[in-house]
Amino acid sequence: MTDPAVEAAPTGPGPRGLDLERLAAYLAAHRPELAAGPLSARLIAGGRSNLTYLLRCGDREVVLRRPPLGHVLATAHDMAREHRVISALAPTDVPVPAALLLCPDDDVIGAPFYLMAKVDGVVYRSRSQTDPLTAGQRRDLAMAMMDTLAALHAVEPAAVGLADFGRPDGYLARQVHRWAGQLDRSRSRPLPGIDELRDALAGSVPEGANAGRIVHGDYRLDNLLASVDPVAVRAVLDWEMATLGDPLADLGLLLTYWDVLGDSDAAEGNPVADGLGPRAGFPTGAELIDRYAGRGDVDVGPLHWHVALGCFKLAVICEGIHYRHLLGQTLGAGFDRIGELVTPLVEHGLHALREK
> What span, in angstroms and rounded, lies between the C-alpha atoms of 153 and 296?
8
CA-to-CA dists, residue 21 to 177, 268, 321, angstroms: 43, 42, 35
**Cross-strand partners of 215:** 243
Tell me if residue 345 falls in helix, strand or coil: helix
CA-to-CA dists, residue 139 to 24, 113, 143, 282, 336, angstroms: 44, 36, 6, 6, 32
Split the chain (356 residues) into runs of 10 and give each run's mean pLDDT.
Answer: 39 73 94 90 71 91 85 58 97 97 92 95 91 96 98 97 93 95 90 96 89 94 94 95 95 92 66 75 95 93 94 91 79 73 93 86
**Cross-strand partners of 57:** 39, 60
DSSP 131-149: TTS-HHHHHHHHHHHHHHH
248-255 vs 135-154: helix axis angle to the nearest 10? 160
pLDDT at 99: 97
Handedness of CA 86, 297, 306, 277 (dihedral sign): positive
SS3 content of the chain, % helix, strand, coil (to 5): 45, 15, 40
pLDDT at 355: 80
pLDDT at 262: 74
pLDDT at 2: 35
pLDDT at 72: 44
> What span, in angstroms and rounded, lies between the C-alpha atoms of 162 and 153?
13
Residue 5 phi, psi (nearest 5): -145, 165
**CB distance 320 to 182 below 8 Å:** yes
**Cross-strand partners of 55:** 41, 62
- Tell me the pTM: 0.88
Within 13 Å of residue 350, how many CA atoms lie on the same side as its CB? Answer: 13
**CB distance 42 to 15 below 8 Å:** yes
> What span, in angstroms and rounded, lies between the C-alpha atoms of 110 and 40?
18
